[in-house]
Amino acid sequence: MNTLIIYGSQYGSTKRYAQHLSETTGIEAVDYKHTKDIEGYDRIVFMGGLYAGGVLGLKKTVDKMADGQELIIVTVGVTDPNETAYFSEIRKSIKAKIPASLYNEEKIFHLRGAIDYSQLDMKHRLMMSMFHKMVQKMPEEQRTADAKAMLETYGQKADFVDFSALEQINIS
């Protein structure tokens, strides 16, 4: 099957996963900003960083896809992939944003990424600061998995990248 890996990465975790997957499979990996004609591929493995509930580059990639192509979606963020309630919401968000013909819940995967607050741009730093203040005031039982992950890593450098987690994605 003719496959292409496309990724959307703001700070590097998703790119690291995409490059590793490319190296281990021999499949080309390309930044979504540099993709043009992807209609010639049977399958697209899209890997995107999670930012404010959205998947970086997913919409622009899907807009370039043709009928009959297979889509595998891999999200990358600091929240633990075992937090099923959080990722259920991410799946709902993805489902609402892509054509039904491309949505397949069995082909959506979640990987844990990294964050280095010193590398965040001003917009993301401000957003995280406001989110941090809001979550600190929130009763603990009301905190989501995303909020707990942010509190756990706030202001630090945390790297949860685990290349062995790529094994769950069957693209052979």
Helices assigned H by DSSP within 26-168: 58-63, 84-97, 122-137, 145-153
User: At CB < 8 A and 24+ separation, what contacts does 159-163 make?
Assistant: 159/13, 159/114, 160/78, 160/112, 160/113, 160/114, 161/13, 161/16, 161/17, 161/111, 161/112, 161/113, 161/114, 162/111, 162/112, 163/17, 163/20
What does the pLDDT look like over 29-42, one tens digit per residue?
999 999 988 999 99
First to last CA, the chain: 8
The ranges of the chain with pLDDT < 70 are 172
Length of the chain: 172
Q: How much is the pLDDT for 172?
A: 65
Domains of the chain as residue ranges with CATH = 3-116+157-167 (3.40.50.360)
What pTM does this model have? 0.84
